[in-house]
Amino acid sequence: MQITENSAHYRYVQLEGIIVVIDKPTCHELEKARQDFEDIEPRSIFYRAATDLVDLAIHNKTELNLAEAIAVLLQTWNVSYYRFRPFSNKHISDIEDLLGKYPQIINNLRHRTIEDFSDKDVEVVKPIFQAFEDVLGKTGTAKCLHLLAPHFFPLWDTNIAIAYKLGKGEDAERYCRFMDITKGQIIDLGGEKAIGRNPLKALDEYNYWKYTLPKLKEQRDKRRARRKGKNL
C-alpha cells in the first residue's frame, strides 16, 4: 500500500493498483463522535473495566487470569459472535493457549504504538491475527489484540472494514492494511498529544459513529418495515 496524496479532508491511498479515498477526521470530529458514542453506547463502561482487568491480570494483581479478563469485553462487545457459539471453559482455555503461544504480544507489542508500525511488522501481525481469528472471529480478534496492546492494535468490525475498502485477501492481510491506514490517520491528527487520549480508541468511536451506527439503524428500520408489512 502506498500513500499517494493528502488533502484537508481525505487521504488518498493506492491499494492493489486502485486509488482509494480514506476519511481524514479532525480532532473536533473525534470529540463529537466521543460525545455521541457515550450517549448511545452504555457498554463503553465494559471497555474501561476490561482494560483495567487486563492490566491487573498481566501484573498478577487479580484472581482472574488474562483470558478471563479478556472474556469480560468479548461477552459484551462481541455478543453477536457468541449468539450461536457457546462461551465455555474450553473457549477460555483456547484463549489461554493463544496467549501462551504468542508471548511477544505482551512482552513487546504492548509497549509500542501504531505510529511505529512498519512493513516488517506485517509478518509478525499476520500469523497472530490468523491464529486468534480461528478462535475469536475477525472482530473479536481485533478487540482481544487491542486489549493486550491498546496503543498498537486498532479496533474494527465488518462495517468499518467495508467502509475502508481494504481490498481482497485474507482478513489478516486486510487488517494489516487497516493498521497502516490508521497509522496515517493518527499521524495526520498529530498523535496522542493532539487527540488527548488513546488515538486508537478515539478513532474506533469515530468509525463506529460514522460507519457502524448508520448500518445498524438501517438494519433495524428494515426489520421494522418487514414486521409492519406482515401485520397489514
Question: Which residues share a beta bridge with 5?
Answer: 12
Distance, in Å, from the CA atom of 227 to the CA atom of 214, rounded to the nearest integer, reads 20
**What are the φ/ψ torsions at residue 21 (nearest 5 degrees)?**
-95, 120
pLDDT value at 12 more than 70: no
Q: How large a percentage of the chain has pLDDT more than 70?
A: 89
Q: Are 199 and 191 in contact (CB under 8 A)?
A: yes
Nearest in space to 203 (alpha carbons), one of 130, 149, 158, 153: 153
| More confident: 84 or 224 | 84
For the stretch 122-170, pLDDT in tens is 999 999 999 999 999 999 999 999 999 999 999 999 999 999 988 788 9
pLDDT value at 213 more than 90: no
For the stretch 187-199, pLDDT in tens is 999 999 999 999 9
Distance, in Å, from the CA atom of 164 to the CA atom of 145, rounded to the nearest integer, reads 20
What was the pLDDT predicted at 178? 95
| More confident: 216 or 1 | 216
Q: Write out the three cell numbers for 114.
A: 501504531
For the stretch 60-79, pLDDT in tens is 999 999 999 998 878 887 88
DSSP string, 53-120: HHHHHHTT-SSS-HHHHHHHHHHHHSTTTTTTS---HHHHHHHHHHHHH-THHHHTGGG--GGG--HH
Q: What is the pTM of this model?
A: 0.87
What was the pLDDT predicted at 39? 85
End-to-end CA distance of the chain: 52
Mean local confidence (pLDDT), 200-226: 85
